[in-house]
A and B are shown apart, each in its own frame.
Chain A
Amino acid sequence: MPRIPRALVDEMLAHAREDMPNEACGVVHAKDGEAIAVIRVPNVSGDDGKGSPYRYLMDPKTQYELEVRRDDSGESLFAIYHSHVASEARPSPTDERQAFFPPGEFDRMPAYPGTLYILVSLRDAAPLDIRAWRVEQRLPGAERPVVTEEPIEIV
């Protein structure tokens, strides 16, 4: 069961709340398998390069800088998180598509193999809902990829 420190969970929840009404997004880095940092990434999915209540697109420059940071520091990509403003804390059909590269290529390996997708739902004011998922390539004959909830241990 993936373990996530309470402070990191609180940071994701705070980020989700602060970015209302838009979706918040970011990553969780791990070192030696332990989640150690939540890093907020600007959501630039809107037409004006600002956020959107319906989509997220991580700022490519920040994403690139984080890639360099991981290479330099030995940190790994533990999770990709984002918020759902008005729907539940599970991957949407768009989330499923974007978990693959090119998007929607469900027969390939996921774009970030082994990385958790953490969803925060703001649908009901309190308590905030946070859940983690794995998205994996679809099984023969299936239409959608395999999406499995991964219970997280908050430590």
Chain B
Amino acid sequence: MPVQVHVTSVIRNAVGGNREVSADGESVRAVLENIEVQYPGFRATVMDEAGELHRFVNIYLNDEDIRYLGGAETALKDGDQVSILPALAGG
């Protein structure tokens, strides 16, 4: 089940410089794992070794922050649009 994943800023370097990648998966986590298969090394930019999403990564599913949906386990359907952004933060 393909979904379009919109990738911003420096995270594009982890997906061959692409703004958009097509990936398969029934959940956000499955899609991220599928991108890892296409672009080895991608996973480490968004998840830690335990598979938890980094605190400073924001993932959107069709304009909704997945933190307020089901996190990495959020279910996807055909044609969904996923966006991945690094947080803008500092001190």
Residues of chain A whose beta carbon lies under 8 Å from any beta carbon of chain B: 25, 27, 41, 45, 54-58, 60-61, 63-64, 67, 80, 82, 91-95, 98-99, 101-103, 108-113
Contact = CB atoms under 8 A, between A and B. Distances in A.
Given A92-B90, A108-B13, A109-B13, 7 more contacts: A60-B87, A63-B88, A91-B90, A95-B90, A98-B90, A98-B91, A102-B57
Contacts, number: 78
Given A63-B58, A98-B56, A58 B10 contact: no
Contacts of B83: 64, 67
Contacts of A82: 90
A58 B89 contact: yes
Contact of A61 (B9, B65, B86): B65
A27 B58 CA distance: 17
A58 B87 contact: yes
A101 B10 contact: yes
Contacts of A110: 10
Interface in B3-46: 8-11, 13, 45
B86 A56 contact: no
B55 to A, nearest CB: 9
Contact of B8 (A67, A92, A99): A67
Interface residues of B, number: 21
B86 A101 contact: yes
B72 interface: no
B60 A64 contact: yes
Residue from B60, B83, B88, B89 whose CB has the most chain A CB atoms within 10 Å: B88
Nearest to A55: B91
B85 A63 contact: yes
A101 B9 contact: yes
B87 A64 contact: no
A64 B63 contact: yes
Contacts of A113: 9-10
